[in-house]
């Protein structure tokens, strides 16, 4: 039965349905298009969030009245633009990126989208950069989208540095379908889920690879 299947995780979306709803609800203006196409154009991995997940970030940031945000994993700046667009003029996003080449492309995307003044791309491994941000918090939102093996660490940092009512967002929390495997990476992602559920009022939004949403208790 269709409803039983969908409640158990079966999806109805086809590529064609995705393209249609993305075009209707999450279209790309010129700045978003440049950033979305930048990975392929500049030889970066094309692992940015999809248009609908990006637009979901925009709406959640807007709903949450987010002013100060942190993103871990900038890539070419697509999700950063999606987040920054919902910030007030005096809001700011700090986006952390390990690869200098990615950071350089992202700065170009952000400037091109008119978001250069609202986003700072910080180069380095997040594990080293995050401690330097503590004094700039507490934050209103943290978005995780970098190395999956460290989500448990990043989740702890977010719990410690978000205000009460602040938003935790995390992409790829089904771990490409490997969430229940026996690997260390899978165990770390499960720790992330379980610790997040304690510190946050949380849900795993069933996007193609799972998007965790939590409100800090
Ligand atoms: N959020 C982006 C996609 C991020 S892809 C978007 O949707 O547009 C993941 C990024 O995390 C890559 O650019 C990768 O270089 C970066 N990354 C991987 N490990 C990292 C680490 N330890 N610290 C900071 N960035 C890291
Ligand atoms: C990969 C990383 C991501 O954040 C993503 O959304 C998809 C793929 C990756 O590392 O392959
Ligand atoms: Mg991702």
In angstroms, rounded to a whole number, what is the distance separating the alpha carbons of residues 102 and 42?
9
Residue 7 lies in a domain: no
* CATH code of 158's domain: 3.40.50.150
Distance 76 CA to ligand 1 centre (A): 9
Query: Edge-to-edge, what's the strand order for the sheet holding 139-144?
Result: 119-123, 92-97, 68-72, 139-144, 162-171, 211-216, 200-205
**Residue 3 belongs to a domain:** no
Pocket test for ligand 2, best of 82, 172, 189, 192 (most atoms within 8 A of CB): 172
Q: Does residue 5 belong to any structural domain of this protein?
A: no
* Residue 6 domain flag: no
Residue 45 belongs to a domain:
yes
Number of domains the chain is built from: 1
Nearest CA to ligand 2 atom 11: 47
Mean residue pLDDT across the chain:
97
Domain residue limits at 65: 12-216
Tens of pLDDT, residues 167-211:
999 999 999 999 999 999 999 999 999 999 999 999 999 999 999
Characterise 9 by phi-psi region: left (phi > 0), alpha (psi -120 to 50), beta (else).
left
User: For residue 1, is it within any domain?
Assistant: no
User: Does ligand 1 come within 6 angstroms of the Cβ of 93?
Assistant: no
Is residue 84 a part of any domain in this protein? yes
Rounded to two decimals, what is the model's pTM?
A: 0.98
Residue nearest to atom 5 of ligand 2 (CA): 47
Please say whether the beta carbons of 203 and 213 come within 8 A: yes
Residue 6 has pLDDT above 70, yes or no: yes
In tens, the pLDDT along 96-135 reads: 999 999 999 999 999 999 999 999 999 999 999 999 999 9
Residue list, ligand 2 pocket, CB within 6 Å: 47, 145, 171-172
> pLDDT category, 1, cuts 50, 70, 90?
low
Task: Please report whether residue 167 resides in a domain.
Answer: yes
Q: DSSP for the chain?
A: -HHHHHHTT-----HHHHHHHHHHHS---HHHHHHHHHHHHTT----PPPHHHHHHHHHHHHHTT--EEEEE--TTSHHHHHHHTTS-TT-EEEEEES-HHHHHHHHHHHHHTT-TTTEEEEES-HHHHHHHHGGG--EEEEEE-S-GGGHHHHHHHHHHHEEEEEEEEEE-TTGGGTTTSSSHHHHHHHHHHHHHHHHEEEEEE-STT-EEEEEE-
In tens, the pLDDT along 62-80 reads 999 999 999 999 999 999 9
């Amino acid at each position: 039965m269709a409803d039983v299947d969908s409640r158990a995780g079966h999806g109805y979306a086809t590529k064609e349905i995705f393209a249609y709803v993305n075009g209707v609800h999450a279209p790309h203006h010129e700045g978003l298009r440049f950033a979305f196409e930048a990975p392929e154009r500049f030889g970066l991995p094309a692992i940015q969030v999809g248009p609908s997940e990006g637009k979901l970030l925009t709406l959640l940031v807007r709903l949450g009245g987010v002013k100060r945000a942190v993103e871990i994993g900038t890539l070419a700046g697509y999700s950063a633009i999606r987040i920054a667009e919902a910030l007030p003029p005096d809001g700011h996003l700090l986006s952390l990126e390990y690869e200098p080449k990615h950071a350089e492309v992202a700065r170009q995307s952000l400037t091109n989208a008119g978001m250069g003044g609202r986003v700072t791309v910080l180069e380095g491994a997040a594990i080293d950069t995050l401690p330097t941000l503590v004094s700039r918090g507490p934050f209103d939102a943290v978005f995780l989208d970098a190395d999956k093996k460290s989500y448990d660490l990043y989740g702890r940092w977010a719990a410690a540095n978000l205000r009460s009512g602040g938003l935790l967002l995390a992409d790829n929390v089904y771990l490409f379908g490997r969430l229940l495997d026996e690997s260390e990476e899978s165990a770390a992602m499960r720790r992330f889920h379980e610790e997040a559920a304690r510190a946050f009022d949380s849900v795993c939004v069933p996007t193609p690879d799972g998007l965790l949403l939590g409100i800090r208790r």
